[in-house]
Homo-oligomer: A and B are copies of this chain.
Amino acid sequence: MSAPRRGRRPGAPDTRAAILAAAREGFAASGFSRTSVRSVAAAAGVDAALVHHYFGTKDDLFVAALALRVDPREALLPVVEGGLDGAGERLLRVFVSVWDDEETRLPLLAVVRGIAEPAGQRLLRDGVMRMVLGPVGEALGLDDAPRRMTLVASQLVGLVVVRYLLAVEPLASMPSEQLVATYAPVVQGFLDGVLPG
């Protein structure tokens, strides 16, 4: 019951990292607007002002919490390098491996949780869709690339929402191998199948 005194703490606790971790969990669990600076501070066992002291505004904290050390373009390189054959399966493999790693899942969840907020929508539409999936479609040399990649995106978005965000069973607990095997044909069909119209 040591009442938290004022001033600097004894020892060398990495409070900054603690705040960052708490922010990551909060944003991943509740999204941006429903995660308050105060709640992050509480989870880190710290006063709210300290969060601002380290990270500035709440937006700054958010982008700090988002920082992944995985460049999506780089991670997707093997997908496009292998050519169109089997691209669906390779894409899904990369996708699932990233999402099943907690380290990367938390920031991604935070982004996806912003799906209902204006800024989050822009991030998803312009950032993820246009700057990540778009180039993949171009690099694969697809005809009607925008349409095909949007279809692929809809498939992946559905997977993310149902498996990782809503956690609906049995999809949430399905082993990744089975997941890849289930979705790969569909994605491949969107990539090189015949499109109606």
Q: Complex: how many Å from CA A121 to CA B34?
A: 14
Is A63 an interface residue, CB under 8 A from the partner?
no
CA distance A174 to B170 in the complex (A): 31
**New contact pairs (15) apart from A154-B161, A158-B159, A158-B161, CB-CB < 8 Å:** A114-B116, A115-B161, A115-B165, A121-B166, A125-B167, A146-B169, A146-B170, A147-B171, A150-B170, A151-B182, A153-B168, A161-B161, A175-B197, A181-B197, A186-B186
| A129 touching B197 in the complex, CB below 8 Å, given contacts A115-B116, A161-B154 | no
Question: Please, which residues of chain B bring their CB within 8 A of the CB of A116?
Answer: 30-31, 34, 113-117, 165
- Majority-rule SS of A interface residues: helix
Contact A168 B125 (CB under 8 A): yes
The reply on A155 being an interface residue by CB < 8 A is: yes
Interface residues of A (CB under 8 A from B): 30-31, 33-34, 113-117, 121, 124-125, 129, 146-147, 150-151, 153-159, 161-163, 165-171, 174-175, 177-178, 181-182, 185-186, 189, 195-197
Most chain B Cβ neighbours within 10 Å, of A34, A153, A182: A182
A-B contact pairs, 26 of them (CB 8 A): A30-B116, A34-B116, A115-B165, A116-B117, A116-B165, A124-B166, A125-B166, A125-B168, A147-B171, A150-B162, A150-B168, A150-B169, A150-B170, A151-B182, A154-B158, A154-B161, A154-B163, A155-B155, A158-B158, A158-B159, A158-B161, A175-B197, A178-B197, A182-B195, A186-B186, A186-B189
